[in-house]
């Protein structure tokens, strides 16, 4: 299990030279045309998928189309994520509308909730007191969090590595419920987002119940959200689990904080597409406003810079990345397994 790393004084963060190199390469410049094309293709593919659903109609074969719809809605989530990081256009207002249209209207998930949660993660990745992604919940990430868990919580912790991927099939529902609860607590100021989610729910379930039988509609919605949750969760899972976990005593600069807690996933254009560019996790964390299409060009520059200054830079294959993350989760539950068995 990863332990906090103490860096010698000679390896303290010096982010400025890297920033100058990245700027000189033009990698922080917007890629508006590339994003416009990518968003247009995804919208077109989603429209074709819904057309296919209408054509197949009230047949159980229609359930097969829940899989591509789940993949394409994950693409929409990636565009909402990029909008939250101001990667796409030159205006915050434009980004907010891109984010709300993809998040609230297409997905039924709050853009404001995601930004609140995700920005806290980026500010302090893998910090158990500050990063909501490694806070104690259904799953736990440290021995301290695991200590004393009993009953159902204890069972989940003892077995969390083996049930991790099955649990991801529920993540699509969890994201939506959590975001709606967030908005309801702020309903006086988040009426637009609540309204867009209401429109999403009406259109989504109206389409399903008009096209299919009630049983088919419910199974389709269940399968669609299971694919969405599994795909989205599988993209975010390899990025930080099993990496360094700073604590209150860690005095890291921006470079250490982002590089030491992140892990890249090797691959080509297919991996880039399936993971929405988040396989370049180190590059994304160092430069969160860098357009997705530029991350693969920044990768060799950043890796070479880390090698020059002696900063560990971790990049593995997808299977190995999952293996490291699951091994960390397994180790966290080991003491409870020993006590129980």
Segment 321-334, tens digit of pLDDT: 999 999 999 999 99
Query: What is the total residue count of the chain?
Result: 341
Q: Give tens-digit pLDDT for 119-164.
A: 999 999 999 889 999 989 899 999 999 998 999 999 999 999 999 9
262 domain-assigned: yes
Asked whether residue 179 carries a pLDDT value surpassing 70, the answer given is yes
Q: What is the pLDDT, as a whole number, of residue 13? A: 54
Parent domain of 39: 9-340
CB 262 within 8 A of CB 287: no
2 domain-assigned: no
130 domain-assigned: yes
Q: How many domains does the chain have?
A: 1
263 domain-assigned: yes
Asked whether residue 2 carries a pLDDT value surpassing 60, the answer given is no
Reported pTM: 0.92
3 domain-assigned: no
228 domain-assigned: yes
Q: Lowest mean pLDDT of 144-148, 164-168, 250-254, 272-276, name the range.
A: 250-254
83 domain-assigned: yes
């Amino acid at each position: 299990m990863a332990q906090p790393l103490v860096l010698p004084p000679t390896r303290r963060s010096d982010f400025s030279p890297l920033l100058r190199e990245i700027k000189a390469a033009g990698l922080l410049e917007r890629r508006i045309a590339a994003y416009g094309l990518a968003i247009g293709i995804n919208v077109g593919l989603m429209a074709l998928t819904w057309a296919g659903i209408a054509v197949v109609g009230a047949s159980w074969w229609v359930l097969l189309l829940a899989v591509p719809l789940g993949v394409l809605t994950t693409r929409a989530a990636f565009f909402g994520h990029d909008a939250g990081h101001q990667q796409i256009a030159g205006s915050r207002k434009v980004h907010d509308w891109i984010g709300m249209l993809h998040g609230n209207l297409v997905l039924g998930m709050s853009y404001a909730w995601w930004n609140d949660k995700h920005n806290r993660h980026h500010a302090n990745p893998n910090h158990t007191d500050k990063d909501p992604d490694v806070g104690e919940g259904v799953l736990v990430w440290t021995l301290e969090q695991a200590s004393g868990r009993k009953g159902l919580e204890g069972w989940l912790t003892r077995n969390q590595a083996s049930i991790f991927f099955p649990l991801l099939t529920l993540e699509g529902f969890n994201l939506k419920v959590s975001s709606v609860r967030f908005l309801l607590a702020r309903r006086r100021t988040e009426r637009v987002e609540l309204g867009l989610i209401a429109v999403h729910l009406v259109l989504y379930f109206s389409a399903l119940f008009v096209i299919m039988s009630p049983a088919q509609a419910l199974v389709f919605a269940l399968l669609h959200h299971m694919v969405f949750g599994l795909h989205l969760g599988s993209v975010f899972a390899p990025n930080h689990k099993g990496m360094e976990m700073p604590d209150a005593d860690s005095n890291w600069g921006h470079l250490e904080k982002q590089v030491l807690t992140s892990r890249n996933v090797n691959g080509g254009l297919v991996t880039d597409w399936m993971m929405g560019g988040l396989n370049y996790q180190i590059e994304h964390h160092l430069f969160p406003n860098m357009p997705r299409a530029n991350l693969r060009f920044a990768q060799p520059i950043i890796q070479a810079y880390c090698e020059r200054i002696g900063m560990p830079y971790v990049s593995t294959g997808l299977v190995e990345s999952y293996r490291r993350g699951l091994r960390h989760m397994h180790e966290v539950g080991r003491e409870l397994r020993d006590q129980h068995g």
